[in-house]
Amino acid sequence: MRNFISVHDVNNIDAMVKKALMYKASPFADKTLGANKRIGLVFLNPSMRTRISTQIAAQNLGMEPIVFNVDKEGWAIEFEEEAIMSGNTVEHVKDAAPIMGKYFDILCIRTFPSLKNKEDDYSELYINQFIKYAGIPVVSLESATLHPLQSLTDIITIQEILNLSHQTSNPKIVITWAPHIKPLPQCVANSFAQWVNKWGKADFVICHPQEYELDDQFTNGATITHQQDEALMNADFVYVKNWSTYTDYGKIYCNDPEWMLTNEKMRLTNNAKLMHCLPVRRNVELSDEVLDSPNCIVTQQAGNRVWAAQAVLSEILQNHKQ
Amino acid sequence: MRNFISVHDVNNIDAMVKKALMYKASPFADKTLGANKRIGLVFLNPSMRTRISTQIAAQNLGMEPIVFNVDKEGWAIEFEEEAIMSGNTVEHVKDAAPIMGKYFDILCIRTFPSLKNKEDDYSELYINQFIKYAGIPVVSLESATLHPLQSLTDIITIQEILNLSHQTSNPKIVITWAPHIKPLPQCVANSFAQWVNKWGKADFVICHPQEYELDDQFTNGATITHQQDEALMNADFVYVKNWSTYTDYGKIYCNDPEWMLTNEKMRLTNNAKLMHCLPVRRNVELSDEVLDSPNCIVTQQAGNRVWAAQAVLSEILQNHKQ
Amino acid sequence: MRNFISVHDVNNIDAMVKKALMYKASPFADKTLGANKRIGLVFLNPSMRTRISTQIAAQNLGMEPIVFNVDKEGWAIEFEEEAIMSGNTVEHVKDAAPIMGKYFDILCIRTFPSLKNKEDDYSELYINQFIKYAGIPVVSLESATLHPLQSLTDIITIQEILNLSHQTSNPKIVITWAPHIKPLPQCVANSFAQWVNKWGKADFVICHPQEYELDDQFTNGATITHQQDEALMNADFVYVKNWSTYTDYGKIYCNDPEWMLTNEKMRLTNNAKLMHCLPVRRNVELSDEVLDSPNCIVTQQAGNRVWAAQAVLSEILQNHKQ
C-alpha cells in the first residue's frame, strides 16, 4: 500500500482488521518502526477525533507527528491549473504539496467537498492534486466523498463484536439516514457502503428517504430501501448517519423527524449494536435513550480510530521500507 | 489523588510543595514515570502559561502531551442533559468526554465561567460533567470558580522565598483587589484563599472594595478588610488581582484607580514580595515601578507553574499505577 | 553565536553552509545535542514553512519544540515602555518575555512590520524587546525588516548548485522585483542583499522599478539597476520577490505586469536557476512556465529551510554548552 484514499488501496481487509486488533492489544508492538520518520497531519477542514487518533497512532509507531491546520493559519490553497493568482488564494498546490513531500515521510490530509459542484467534489480534485504533487505516500483523513479511516474503524468494531459473540454467520448491517440541521457530505455513508460491500461478509442494507440516494458506484451490491422499519428488522448492527442529497446535489430535502432513531425502533432489531461516527446531534439524529443504552458502541468505535490509523501507517511504513 | 480540581483533592499541601521543589532542582528525576502515557490538554478557553507549563511538566515525566484548543477548532460542546441539539452545539459532553477517556490517560481541561449565571458557574457544571463522563483522572487547568494549579504554584513560590530567608514564623500574606477594564472571573482569588486557608501557615488578609466580597466558602478563616493601607501594613507577600463582583454577579462596580498598587503603598509593607498570576495590565492593576522592582517575583511565580503541574501529574501517575 | 537575528550574528557564512549540508546528508548526526532542551516557536504572524522546518530541525537535534501562535490564541502584546494598558493589549513584553526565558532554552520568534511606521519597523522594536527581556538565545523566524533563516537557506541552495556543477568562478546572482496584489515587507529582499553582500562570492545585481529602492544599509556593495533585461543577462541565479516601497513607506506604486518573470526573459540568462522564498502567486509574480521548468529550484530551496535552521540551532546549543 502506497496511499490510503479508498478501499481500493487495500488488498485484504481482514488482514488490516487483524493488524489493527493486534495493535489494540499491544499498542507499542512496533514502537521503532517509524523511528526518525515524520508524519504531517494537514487539515483543510478542522477535526478532533481524526486528528488526535492519528497523532496517537503515529506516536505509537515512534513517528513524530506535526499538525498543521490550514484554514486556521491563513493559508488558502489554489487547486486550479493555470490560475492567475490575483485573488484570495496565496499558494498553489503545485508549490505547496512538493514541500510537504520534502518535510514529511507520510502526508495525512483532510480535504472537504464544496457541496455545490458535484463534478468537482466527486472527481476528488483536492486530494488527487496532493497525491500528484507531494511525491510521498498520502493518507486521507477524509476527502470530498470518502472517509476510509472511519470505514476501516467501523469494520474493525463490527469484527470485534462478532469475535466476542462467536457469531460466524454473516451479520445484518443497516445504515440508516437520520435528520440533521445542516447539509452534510456523503463521505461516511459512501465510504461505509464501499467497505462493507468489498468486505462481503454481511447482509447489507442501506435505508433512506427516497431523495437521499447515494452514488451507486459505492452502494452497488447492497439492498436499498426507503422503509426504515423493514430495514431494521433483525438487524445486528445499525449505523445512523445523516447526509445531504446526492442527485440534486448538497441539499436538505425532507428532514422528517420520524427518521430519528429511537429505542422503539431498535426493538425491531436483533438486539442490534448502535453505531455512529460522531459527532452526533442528540435528539435530532438519535434519541438520548438509544445513545445511553448498553447497545450503543459509539465510544468503542471512536476509540478504535487509533488502531485503524496505526494499521494503515504501519502498512505504509513497511512497504516504504522494502 | 485521582482528580485535581480543588485543594480538597490534596491530602498534604506541604508534601506537594516539597515534591514540586524537588522537580525544580531535578526536572528529569522521573523521566520514565509517564512512559507510553498520553495526556490531553483541552482548552475551552485559550491559554499561554498554563498550556506551555503543563506541556513541559508532562514531557519532563516522559508523557506525550496532545493540545486541543476547542474554541479554535470549531467544536462547541453541549452540557445540558436531554438537550435537543438543533442549535449551535455540535457534540454533547456525554459523547465527547468518554472518547477523551479512550485517547488519553489523564485529561487536563480548562473550562470557564459565564459570569452571567452564578448558580451554573458555582456548580462547576462543565468540569464536573467531564469528570463524570471521561472515566480517567481529570486535572483542572482553571475552571469556572477555581484555579488550583495557580494556587499550588503560589504556595510553592511563597515557601521557596521563606526557605531562602530562613523565616520560620508565619508570614503575613495579603491578596488585594486591583482595577481592571474587563469583568474577570473570581477563580484566582477564590482558589488562592482556599489554598492559603487550608495550608494554614500564614496570617492571611483579603482586601477589596466593599462590593467585591468573595464567596465565603473560600474565604472563611481569612481576615477581610476594605482598607488597603491597613491590609498592606507589615505584609510579607502582596498578591494583586482583579475580580468582578460575586454578590451582584459578574459586574464591574467601583473601578477606583486608587486601588492600583504603587511603590508608595508597598512602603507600608515589610519589604514584601509582589505576586501576580499574570497576565497583568501595567499601570492599571499595578504601576510599572512595582513590577520592575527587585521585590517583584511574578516571573519566578510563572516559572514555578511547571513544577506545580509536574508534582500533580506525578502524584496522579503514581496512584494510577498502584 | 548567541542570537540569530541578522548576518552580523554569523562569523563564517561558509562554515554555516557546510554544517547545514552536513545535516542534509546526515539529519540525525547530532540527535542528542539538544536532549532535555526545549525550544519555543512563537508566532506573532502565522507561518507554514518556517514553523514546520524549524520544528523538524529542533527534533532532529533531540529538542522538544513547543509552538505558540500568538494572534491565534488571543494574546496581544504591548511593546511600548510605560504604556497604560487600558486598551487592547493584555500583556507587556517585559512580563511575557522573561517567562519564555523560564520555559524555554531557545526562543524562536516571528514578528512583523506595521508597513506604516518606517522608523518603528526599521528599529526592530518587537524582536529587540524580546531579546532584551527573554534572557535566553533568540532566533528570528522573520522580523520586521529581515529574514535571516531564509537568506542562509538561499546561500546554502546556491552553494549546493555550485558544488554540483563544479563552478568555481563567482556566479551572477540577480534579485528581481515582481508584481503582487498586496504591500509586502522588504524583509526577504533586505536580508538576501545583506547576506549575499557579506558572503562576497557573487556578482550581485538588484533590479526593481525606480520607486522600489531598498535601504542602502543592506544593499551597499550590490549593483542596482532598473533595467530588468540588462540585469538578467547571463545571470546564473534569478531570485524573484515582491516588496512594497521603502522610501515612501509600505506602498504599492507601479505594479507593472511587465515585471512578471517569464520564460522569454529567462532566455537572457545563463540557463539560470530560478529562486523564490514562497508562497508565490502564479501568473502574477512568475508565469506558470517558469515555475514548472526544470530550472526552478524553489522546492529544493524550501526543503533546505530545515538544514539552515538545524545549523543555527546546533551552533547556539554548542555555544550554550561551553
B310: pLDDT strictly greater than 90: yes
Check CB contact of A62 with chain B, cutoff 8 Å: no
Whether domain B149-302 has CATH 3.40.710.10: the reply is no
From CA A106, how far away is CA A139, in angstroms rounded? 7
Q: Band of the pLDDT at C75, cuts 50, 70, 90?
A: confident
- Which helix (H) or strand (E) covers residue B66, if one does? strand B64-69
Q: Minimal Cα–Cα distance from C264 to chain A, Å?
A: 18
A320: pLDDT strictly greater than 90: no
Q: Say yes or no for a CB contact (<8 Å) between B95 and A280.
A: yes
What is the per-residue pLDDT for B161? 97
Q: Minimal Cα–Cα distance from B63 to chain A, Å?
A: 11
Residue pointed to by grid coordinates 448492527: A237
B46, amino acid identity: P
| Nearest-Cα residue of chain C relative to residue B59 | C64
C322: pLDDT strictly greater than 80: no
Average the pLDDT over B202-210 and give the result.
98
Check CB contact of A32 with chain C, cutoff 8 Å: no
Of B92, B101, B103, the CB nearest to A52: B103
Lookup: cell for B225: 478588610
The pLDDT tens digits of the residues spanning B171-183 come to 999 999 999 999 9
pTM to 2 decimal places: 0.96
Q: Are C177 and C243 in contact (CB under 8 A)?
A: yes
Residues of chain B with C-beta less than 8 angstroms from the C-beta of A284: 84-86
Residues of chain B with C-beta less than 8 angstroms from the C-beta of C84: 282-284
Q: Band of the pLDDT at C120, cuts 50, 70, 90?
A: very high
- Which helix (H) or strand (E) covers residue C107, if one does? strand C106-110
| Nearest-Cα residue of chain C relative to residue B47 | C73
From CA A309, how far away is CA A57, in angstroms rounded? 6
Q: What is the ipTM of this complex?
A: 0.94
What is the per-residue pLDDT for B99? 97
Q: Band of the pLDDT at C243, cuts 50, 70, 90?
A: very high
C129: pLDDT strictly greater than 70: yes
Check CB contact of C226 with chain B, cutoff 8 Å: no
- Give CATH 3.40.50.1370 domain extents, chain B: 7-146+305-321, 149-302
Check CB contact of A73 with chain C, cutoff 8 Å: yes
Check CB contact of C106 with chain B, cutoff 8 Å: no
CA angle B164, B168, B170 (to 5 degrees): 110
From CA C163, how far away is CA C59, in angstroms rounded? 28
The pLDDT tens digits of the residues spanning A291-317 come to 999 999 999 999 999 999 999 999 999
Q: Say yes or no for a CB contact (<8 Å) between B281 and C66.
A: no
B126: pLDDT strictly greater than 70: yes
Residues of chain B with C-beta less than 8 angstroms from the C-beta of A56: 38, 66, 103
Check CB contact of C67 with chain B, cutoff 8 Å: no
The pLDDT tens digits of the residues spanning A89-109 come to 889 999 999 999 999 999 999
Q: Which of A202-211, C42-51, C203-212 has the lowest average pLDDT?
A: C42-51
Check CB contact of B62 with chain A, cutoff 8 Å: no
Task: Give strand pairing partners of B172.
Answer: B203
Residues of chain A with C-beta less than 8 angstroms from the C-beta of C278: 91, 95, 99
Check CB contact of B294 with chain A, cutoff 8 Å: no
Q: Say yes or no for a CB contact (<8 Å) between B85 and A298.
A: no
Check CB contact of C282 with chain A, cutoff 8 Å: yes
- Which helix (H) or strand (E) covers residue A143, if one does? none
Residues of chain C with C-beta less than 8 angstroms from the C-beta of A101: 299
Of A74, A83, A99, the CB nearest to C299: A99
Substitution target from A52, A73, A300, A307 for chain B, most B beta carbons within 10 A = A52
Check CB contact of A255 with chain B, cutoff 8 Å: no
Residues of chain C with C-beta less than 8 angstroms from the C-beta of B51: 68
- Give CATH 3.40.50.1370 domain extents, chain A: 7-146+304-321, 150-302
Check CB contact of B8 with chain C, cutoff 8 Å: no
Q: Say yes or no for a CB contact (<8 Å) between A86 and C280.
A: no
- Residues near B40 by beta carbon (within 8 Å), at least 6 away in sequence: A52, B65, B66, B68, B100, B103, B104, B106, B107, B108, B109
Q: Band of the pLDDT at C306, cuts 50, 70, 90?
A: very high
Of C64, C84, C101, the CB nearest to B284: C84
Average the pLDDT over A204-215 and give the result.
97
From CA C198, how far away is CA B168, in angstroms rounded? 61
A73: pLDDT strictly greater than 70: no
Substitution target from C59, C278, C282 for chain A, most A beta carbons within 10 A = C282
Name the residue among A66, A90, A86 with its Cα closest to residue A77.
A90
Subunits close to A (at least 3 CB pairs below 8 A): B, C
Q: Band of the pLDDT at C47, cuts 50, 70, 90?
A: confident
Q: Say yes or no for a CB contact (<8 Å) between B52 and C36.
A: no
Q: Say yes or no for a CB contact (<8 Å) between C99 and B278.
A: yes
Q: Say yes or no for a CB contact (<8 Å) between A98 and C299.
A: yes
Residues of chain A with C-beta less than 8 angstroms from the C-beta of B101: 299
Q: Are C156 and C304 in contact (CB under 8 A)?
A: yes
C99: pLDDT strictly greater than 80: yes
| Nearest-Cα residue of chain B relative to residue A56 | B103
What is the per-residue pLDDT for A321? 67
Lookup: cell for B310: 509536574
- Residues near B23 by beta carbon (within 8 Å), at least 6 away in sequence: B29, B30, B60, B306, B307, B310, B311, B314
From CA A56, how far away is CA A31, in angstroms rounded? 12
What is the per-residue pLDDT for A322? 53
What is the per-residue pLDDT for B76? 84
Q: Minimal Cα–Cα distance from B310 to chain C, Å?
A: 13
Whether domain C7-146+305-321 has CATH 3.40.50.300: the reply is no
Whether domain A150-302 has CATH 3.10.20.30: the reply is no
Q: Say yes or no for a CB contact (<8 Å) between B283 and C82.
A: yes
Q: Say yes or no for a CB contact (<8 Å) between A284 and B36.
A: no
What is the per-residue pLDDT for B177? 98
What is the per-residue pLDDT for A209? 97
Of C46, C283, C291, the CB nearest to A73: C46
CA angle B307, B311, B314 (to 5 degrees): 130
Check CB contact of C83 with chain B, cutoff 8 Å: yes
Q: Minimal Cα–Cα distance from A8 to chain B, Å?
A: 29
Check CB contact of B197 with chain C, cutoff 8 Å: no
Q: Say yes or no for a CB contact (<8 Å) between B52 and C40.
A: yes
Substitution target from C44, C59, C84, C95 for chain B, most B beta carbons within 10 A = C95
Q: Say yes or no for a CB contact (<8 Å) between C86 and B281.
A: yes
Residues of chain C with C-beta less than 8 angstroms from the C-beta of B153: none
Of A52, A56, A279, the CB nearest to B91: A279
What is the per-residue pLDDT for A74? 57
Query: A7-146+304-321: what fold?
Result: Rossmann fold (3.40.50)
**Average predicted confidence (pLDDT) for chain A:** 95
Q: Are C228 and C207 in contact (CB under 8 A)?
A: yes
Average the pLDDT over B23-47 and give the result.
94
Q: Minimal Cα–Cα distance from B59 to chain A, Å?
A: 14
Check CB contact of B40 with chain A, cutoff 8 Å: yes
Check CB contact of A262 with chain B, cutoff 8 Å: no
Task: Give strand pairing partners of B98.
Answer: none
Of B51, B52, B299, the CB nearest to C98: B299
Check CB contact of A85 with chain C, cutoff 8 Å: yes
Q: Band of the pLDDT at A71, cuts 50, 70, 90?
A: low
- Give CATH 3.40.50.1370 domain extents, chain C: 7-146+305-321, 150-302
C73: pLDDT strictly greater than 60: no
Substitution target from A44, A86, A106, A133 for chain C, most C beta carbons within 10 A = A86
Cα dist. C136→B297, C106, C168 in Å? Answer: 19, 6, 40
B115: pLDDT strictly greater than 90: yes
